[in-house]
Amino acid sequence: MRKSLVAAWSFAVVVGLSVPAFAQLRDGVVREGEGARRIRLDGIERKPFDFAAFGKLADWKNGAALSAGVAAGKPVLILTWTDYVPQSKRALTLARRMAEKHGAQGLIVVAAHSAQEWDAADKVAAPKDATFLLAHDKDGEFRKSLSADADPDFFLIDRAGQLRFADIVTESVETACDTLVKESGEDAGSVNMRLKAAADAAEAEARRTEALRQGVDLTNLPEQPFEEPSADVYKKAAWPNPPEDEQARQQLQPGQKYDPFADLPRFSTPDTAWFPSKSVTKGRVTILYFWHPEARFSVPQIDAYELVQRQRGRDVAVVGVVSPIGDNSGQSKFNMEPDFLKPIMTKFQGEKALKHRFMVDPEGQLWEMSTRTYTGTQSYPMPWGLLVGSDGTVHWWGHLGSPKGQAALDKMLAVDPGVQARRQAEESYIKSRTEK
């Protein structure tokens, strides 16, 4: 029988991985950057950090300059930040929240401002009983020592004094902080040895499983029954933070705290909206991307997301949503008549032999759901869409191709209880067929 794309891909992502690559696959923390710079950053992760680098910073606020002695045995979160850049300012708010959340566990936060306009920067006070230090990178030498390229960038040092995470996406900062504060200094110091042992064990298991799967075609694996997790299990999962709703934040009453997980939308649509038939979404993360045949810039996404469906296999249900895509003013003149759309969808499904489905969003309700928190002044970047958990809750929306969108998808696939339950059921089925 033909070997499954899913099986081959799963085997490939484990066998032959370097320890740095295996570490990143395992830790759930998404890195930024690519090419030579990312290779350089990977090379300095889990190596001793040179605390002399903090001597390149000046005009410290909220406390004295950080030294190796003060930081000994404590995790450190580093942020490079520029106060007049909105995205950077939000990153500073996140860094301060981490100081407040983990101050009792010893987390130290250092925010290094860029050379420009330090005097005008808002010197935010430290939270109570927390170490939250601000300083001026007046010559840019501190950034250079870290290979930081664009504010905001986040780096973390573990309790053993190693640069554990180098330039990670904003969405992974809380996960990284949670990981490091829970570790003892001894555990942090042995991380390289533990990762090497885990990588060797994973490769051995992958080779054993691949040998068992040689006779099983996973592309045609029948749907396996499994008990869906309870609502409480879904609620407790460590979902990625959804895009921030600035309007909801501004409407808070005194004393109220912003909850990014409050009132998350649900994905629900009639069976008649699907083409040519409804996708199987049970135990899968649903990826909804938007397109319209008259919006020529959106059509290439069909091929791109067909590849995603084939690569991600049974973990995802990719859906191309034909919607009245508007510009940032909400205006759209695209034809949504069924007699116009059906022949086009039929043509694409047939010519491209698509494994993913289409659906029609005639009134643009899904499109509106995906754009409700967008504050940009330019047209919506493509691919644009929604990420839906296996319980039907929409957990993320926006630019799917951005580092944030990719990080959100990876996190959802890692934590979705329905995905995990489906995988276990399928693994049991495979073993029952191959170990007789």
Mean pLDDT of 376-400: 85
Rounded to two decimals, the pTM is 0.57
**Amino acid identity for residue 11 in this structure:** F
Name the helix (H) or strand (E) containing 134.
strand 131-136
Name 204's Cβ contacts closer than 8 Å, sequence gap at least 6: none
Flag whether pLDDT at 161 surpasses 50.
yes
Partner residues linked to 31 by β-bridges? 168
User: What is the average pLDDT across 403-408?
Assistant: 84
- Please state the domain extents for the chain: 31-189, 252-433
Neighbours of 377 (CB within 10 A): 6
Dihedral, CA of residue 25, residue 26, residue 30 and residue 33, to nearest 10:
-40
Average pLDDT of the chain is 85
Q: What is the pLDDT of residue 62?
A: 98
Please give the helix or strand (H or E) that residue 359 lies within, else none: strand 357-360
Q: How far apart are CA 264 and CA 365, in angstroms?
A: 15
Q: Which of 162, 174, 179 is nearest to 45 (CA)?
A: 162
Do domains 31-189 and 252-433 share one topology? The answer is: yes
What is 21-66 written as a DSSP string?
HHHHHHH--PBP--HHHHHHHHHHTTEE--GGGGGG-EEEESSSPP
CATH fold of the domain at 252-433: Glutaredoxin (3.40.30)
Mean pLDDT of 22-40: 71
* Assigned token pair, 208: 């054993």
Q: What is the pLDDT of residues 248-266, one digit of tens each?
A: 777 777 877 777 777 888 9
- What whole-number distance in Å separates Cα of residue 334 and Cα of residue 11? 44
pLDDT band at 13 (very low <50, low <70, confident <90, very high): very low
Tell me: the pLDDT tens digits for 240-251? 888 887 777 777
Print burial letters for 49-87: b (CB count within 10 Å at least 16), e (below 16). Answer: bebebbebbeeebbeeebeeebbeebbbbbbbbbbeeee
Type of residue found at 368: E
How far apart CA 37 and CA 290 sit, in angstroms, is: 33
Tokens of 198: 């885990």
Q: Bridge partners of 111?
A: 79, 134
Query: What's the Cα-to-Cα distance from 357 to each of 69, 221, 286, rounded to whole Å?
Result: 58, 18, 11
What pLDDT score does 325 carry?
82
Q: Provide the residue type at 263 as one letter.
A: D
What is the CATH code of the structural domain delimited by 31-189?
3.40.30.10
pLDDT tens profile 45-87: 999 999 999 999 999 999 999 999 999 999 999 999 999 999 9
Distances (CA, A) of 245 to 203, 219, 251, 278: 42, 39, 10, 31
pLDDT at 354 over 60: yes
Q: Are 44 and 133 in contact (CB under 8 A)?
A: no
